[in-house]
Chain A
């Protein structure tokens, strides 16, 4: 299984990346606010920055998406390409986690506890998670090929740290985002100092599968 081989391959990439960061010597933090058309803070928005040097190499980390009280937690999980996802089941019933998303199609049939195999997100894109026996259960894994990403909290705030100085394209994604290409990307030169920026997005009305 390639999945088993990956940590080693990831570890190499990670080492390379660290050396680059250290070489530049400086890094900045950008605070980002996301609001909707009405100025209300938007949570669960993914913000990520891509530098001029193109996509970063995959990172071999493991991220957890829990299943608690028949819900996926968190609702939106941004990860870098190469990230492994664990789906521990904290409920006392079985779940059947699946995704038919082109970015990653998989299914972990009815299981209990933490025994489920990890799934590696090897392509950037949106992976929509569902449970075959609980139609209302929904979660997103947003796979980006940059290490600089974050998800907004309930106040609509996210923080991208360790951004190397230089020009970055800041992008935003949300499960209910309406198409508006100009507003979804902001080019910015990041210096040594911390800075702030904000996104204003329009969202489709929330419609989640019924219980």
Chain B
């Protein structure tokens, strides 16, 4: 999933994804809770507003009713009515309207004609709703209703004027107008509108606390409403703004119900939360930025040492051990870097050991030692053992400074060692000016015996070359003897676990040493003596001379020995032989 090319990208991606997911969740939750809270607040306000509205209307009605009742019982009022003078009665009604705070007052005769009235609305003929109201008042002493008079809606109370039986009807009312709506708005803090639907269900706003433009929008919103499925509290979209509205019946006029609508904008209610929303948004954004930096920091703290390590590993791969990774962290990466550094150091150490080992033991032994598990113990192997020894080197040493002696010896041993190794032999050890070399252990080669013999001849040849050089510098010549034997020996690591040598032991070794010793005999007149075993084993052919049977120290039987003169049918050999005769 998501093929990232870098660890950093991966970390940043997942980190930011998770953090933003969390923040989106928090943001949404806050938003949803706020909206729900606001809705709930409005619902409470609407319910409360609805009750307040009812109570206010009720109170107003009661007040007016009480005032009207007192007024209708007023003797002076009755006396004025009894005058039957229209102007007087008109004047009384106007005066008393002010006295009790009524918007409209009508005096109606028992035969239901209007005698006099106060207020701005010219009533004229009595409409049937008003007649109905009087009918109710006749039965119940008083009657309330919303009545439309000349296009204006009034909440009207009708009571009889008693003297002491009814002599006339007094209608007292308050106007359902913007003033009333505003008054209701002031203590409910809700939008208050009165509306009525006509026969075609089209709403008409009778009065409202809203500004004129909003009324038009409200009417449109109401027109869009599906009236069948309406709860008392319902959402209402007015020009894209969401409101919650409470609609309640307020009266019936001309057979069509007049309804009151209380409303509040959800957006307005949410206004305090918009600030919170902004704060949460900014905080979320800040958190996201911080986590971006955090992710980058964490990613870098991993990728930087990793990159350094990778580069160092590539260096080591290329053979450059001069690598050190610096990681200051103390965590797993720090550990890894430390381990890496130690590893490189170990590698360097091993290389150095290998180099030193190559110097103190032969390369073949070193390789064999390094590549295999080192353990004490040995195995029976058939090897050819070569011993060489410089003649009259002691005498040479006596006249020379130790430095020069060592220099000459080293020169000599270096050359000899090179020849041994060139012939797949292993220098087992240096014995003063002597060399002990093994052929066939630890690594077997084709024709180890032949190699040993060839090495012996080569060593002699090399000594000759060296002698030529020495003579040129006026230094006395040196001579040497070489013994070669082939036989079964025990080869292996010998010594203690803390210090051991790879070497060979056995009778065959001793015999080789003895053969070397035999070369000192002038009678034999040879530099190289080999046993029959060696000659038998060697696949290559050499020019030899039988020296007959020889008694060797430490051995009961005599053995058959040969002087090795040179390579068979080889011109070099012939020359060697010649030189030897000198």
Footprint of B on A, CB under 8 Å? 96, 98-100, 105, 107, 128, 130-132, 135-138, 175, 207, 209
In the bound complex, residues from chain A placing their C-beta under 8 Å from that of B141 are: 207
Query: Contact flags (1/0) for B237-273 with A, using CB distance below 8 Å?
Result: 0000000000000000000000000000000000000
B165 at the A interface (CB under 8 A): yes
- From B73, B81, B82, B165, A138 is in contact (CB under 8 Å) with B165
Interface residues of B in 56-89 (CB under 8 A from A): 73, 75, 78-79, 81-82
- Whether B82 pairs with A132 at a CB distance below 8 angstroms is no
* A132, B79: Cα distance in complex, Å: 11
Distance in Å from the Cβ of A202 to the closest Cβ of chain B? Answer: 16
Query: Contact flags (1/0) for B151-194 with A, using CB distance below 8 Å?
Result: 00000000000111101000000000000000000000000000
- Whether B82 pairs with A135 at a CB distance below 8 angstroms is no
Interface residues of B in 118-162 (CB under 8 A from A): 141, 162
* A137, B167: Cα distance in complex, Å: 15
Q: List 29 A-B contacts (CB under 8 A).
A: A96-B75, A98-B75, A98-B163, A99-B163, A100-B78, A100-B79, A100-B81, A100-B82, A100-B163, A105-B82, A107-B79, A128-B163, A128-B164, A128-B165, A130-B162, A130-B164, A131-B164, A132-B75, A135-B162, A135-B164, A136-B164, A137-B164, A138-B164, A138-B165, A175-B165, A207-B141, A209-B162, A209-B164, A209-B165
Q: Which of B73, B82, B162, B165 has the most CB of A within 10 A?
A: B165
With CB as the reference atom, state the residue of chain A lying closest to B141. A207
In the bound complex, residues from chain B placing their C-beta under 8 Å from that of A130 are: 162-164
> Is the interface on chain B under 10, 10 to 19, 20 to 34, or 35 or more residues?
10 to 19
- Whether B167 pairs with A100 at a CB distance below 8 angstroms is yes
Distance in Å from the Cβ of B299 to the closest Cβ of chain A? Answer: 93
With CB as the reference atom, state the residue of chain B lying closest to A126. B165
In the bound complex, residues from chain B placing their C-beta under 8 Å from that of A98 are: 75, 163
Extra contacts, 8 of them, besides A98-B163, A135-B73, A207-B141 (Cβ < 8 A), are A100-B79, A100-B81, A100-B82, A100-B167, A130-B164, A137-B164, A138-B164, A209-B162
Distance in Å from the Cβ of A104 to the closest Cβ of chain B? Answer: 11
In the bound complex, residues from chain A placing their C-beta under 8 Å from that of B163 are: 98-100, 128, 130
Distance in Å from the Cβ of B460 to the closest Cβ of chain A? Answer: 163
Q: Which of B78, B81, B82, B141 has the most CB of A within 10 A?
A: B82
In the bound complex, residues from chain B placing their C-beta under 8 Å from that of A131 are: 164
In the bound complex, residues from chain A placing their C-beta under 8 Å from that of B79 are: 100, 107
In the bound complex, residues from chain B placing their C-beta under 8 Å from that of A99 are: 163
Distance in Å from the Cβ of A70 to the closest Cβ of chain B? Answer: 12
In the bound complex, residues from chain B placing their C-beta under 8 Å from that of A107 are: 79
* A132, B163: Cα distance in complex, Å: 9
* A44, B510: Cα distance in complex, Å: 175
With CB as the reference atom, state the residue of chain B lying closest to A129. B164
Distance in Å from the Cβ of A87 to the closest Cβ of chain B? Answer: 15
In the bound complex, residues from chain B placing their C-beta under 8 Å from that of A138 are: 164-165
* A137, B163: Cα distance in complex, Å: 10
In the bound complex, residues from chain A placing their C-beta under 8 Å from that of B75 are: 96, 98, 132
With CB as the reference atom, state the residue of chain B lying closest to A105. B82
Distance in Å from the Cβ of A164 to the closest Cβ of chain B? Answer: 35
In the bound complex, residues from chain B placing their C-beta under 8 Å from that of A135 are: 73, 162, 164
In the bound complex, residues from chain A placing their C-beta under 8 Å from that of B81 are: 100
Distance in Å from the Cβ of A200 to the closest Cβ of chain B? Answer: 24
* A136, B165: Cα distance in complex, Å: 10
Distance in Å from the Cβ of A122 to the closest Cβ of chain B? Answer: 17
* A207, B78: Cα distance in complex, Å: 20
* A138, B164: Cα distance in complex, Å: 6
With CB as the reference atom, state the residue of chain B lying closest to A109. B75
In the bound complex, residues from chain B placing their C-beta under 8 Å from that of A105 are: 82
* A92, B181: Cα distance in complex, Å: 53
Q: Which of A128, A136, A175 has the most CB of B within 10 A?
A: A128
Distance in Å from the Cβ of A207 to the closest Cβ of chain B? Answer: 8
* A209, B163: Cα distance in complex, Å: 10
In the bound complex, residues from chain B placing their C-beta under 8 Å from that of A175 are: 165
In the bound complex, residues from chain A placing their C-beta under 8 Å from that of B82 are: 100, 105
Interface residues of B in 305-349 (CB under 8 A from A): none
Top 6 A-B pairs ranked by shortest CB distance? A130-B164, A100-B82, A100-B163, A138-B164, A132-B75, A209-B164
With CB as the reference atom, state the residue of chain A lying closest to B165. A128
In the bound complex, residues from chain A placing their C-beta under 8 Å from that of B165 are: 128, 138, 175, 209
Distance in Å from the Cβ of A103 to the closest Cβ of chain B? Answer: 12
In the bound complex, residues from chain B placing their C-beta under 8 Å from that of A96 are: 75
* A135, B164: Cα distance in complex, Å: 6
Q: Which of A131, A136, A138 has the most CB of B within 10 A?
A: A138
Q: Which of A100, A137, A138 has the most CB of B within 10 A?
A: A100
With CB as the reference atom, state the residue of chain A lying closest to B167. A100
Distance in Å from the Cβ of B253 to the closest Cβ of chain A? Answer: 29
